[in-house]
Amino acid sequence: MVNTSSTGKRASSAICLINMNTIKIIIMLAALSGILMFLGALLGGRTGLVIALIISTVMNFGSYWYSDSIVLKMYNAQAVTEERAPLLYKTVRNLADKSGMPMPKVYIIPDKSPNAFATGRNENHAAVAVTSGIIAMLNKDELEGVIGHELSHIKHNDILIGTMAATIASAVVVVSSMAKWAALMGGGGEDMGGTVKLIATAFIAPVAATLVQMAISRSREYYADEGAAKVTGKPEALASSLEKLTLASKKIPMDANPATAHMFIVNPLSGNMIMNLFSTHPPLEKRIERLRAMKAVGSF
């Protein structure tokens, strides 16, 4: 006999968790937008505020419609069919069916460094890309874990959230650069304190924006790991793949653009100690610990 009370409690807890995650993301995105608008207002008053909003809007619009094609071309990703990559294609199709979502396009990146990412503006316009190195390294179950992780990103709109965060953060960097030049050209006015304030803000704002973007990306990585464990029923397989991928990425670093680092399943910049300080990925040990805890209690 099914315990409806227990089932109801679990469903209620899951809904509360999703709602809390959504609230956190909204707050973080609002914080990013606030940093941008503050910079704009500091740089040019009301006019600067309007310019900052225009920059943010234009960048978000462009990234929403074209970010997928841009990033796929950036890494020379090649579209594949089931005939060319049968295991990869079938894995994506089977897990997409289990997740109740449309089949995304499948791409292979000709790179020996093992990694993967998902891109696209929604479930109906999505793509999963993996490197040739990941196909050569992982077994069937581990590959399922990786694909499950990427499909979870698509299903939970993480791509759109990450893109919005990245574009607003990029806008902050652009406006900060403008503020620095304005300060050097005397934009702070005759008051030396105003110039110092402008310069200090111009340096601090990008760091603050990066930290907020990191918080958003890290929380979504945990969420995607959990989604992959649930759809595959094999949290240990994903934990094993994360261990392999991280070790291999250090030995075979990927020539990745830092602006796209948050998209990959493991940090492609892991060989760079400075980048580690501002990593968009949570610590590997914590991700693996959470996955193995899921296996131990059977919560998937």
Of 56, 66, 69, 9, nearest to 29 by C-alpha is: 56
Q: What is the pLDDT of residue 157?
A: 81
- Name the stretches of the chain with pLDDT < 50: 1-2, 4-15, 17-18, 273-275
pLDDT in tens, 224-282: 999 999 999 999 999 999 999 988 888 888 888 776 777 899 988 755 544 455 566 78
Query: Looking at residue 131, what is its pLDDT?
Result: 97
Q: What is the pLDDT at residue 4?
A: 47
Which DSSP letter does residue 264 get?
Answer: B
Which one of the listed residues 142, 150, 221, 226 is annotated catalytic?
150
Give pLDDT, residue 18.
47
In whole angstroms, what is the distance from residue 138 CA to residue 106 CA? 17
The structure's pTM equals 0.75
pLDDT at residue number 284: 86
H helix intervals, 233-283: 235-251, 273-277
Quote the pLDDT of residue 111: 95
Instruction: Name residue, tokens 């296996």.
Output: 295
Whole-number Å distance between alpha carbons of 179 and 166: 20
Domain borders along the chain are 16-297
Q: Can you give the pLDDT at residue 159?
A: 75
Determine contact, residues 231/212, Cβ cutoff 8 Å.
no
Per DSSP, what are the bridge partners of residue 106? 128
- Looking at residue 13, its amino acid is S
Per-residue model confidence (pLDDT) at position 86: 95
Bridge partners of 60, per DSSP, are none
Would strands 78-79 and 105-109 be described as parallel, antiparallel, or unpaired?
antiparallel
82 catalytic? Reply is no
pLDDT at residue 114, as a whole number: 94
pLDDT at 68: 82
Name the amino acid, one letter, at 128: V
Helices (H) and strands (E) in the chain, counts: 9, 4
State residue 10's pLDDT score.
44
The CA-atom distances, in angstroms, between 171 and each of 33, 50, 154, 178, 275 are 9, 13, 24, 11, 20
- Position 70 scores a pLDDT of 83
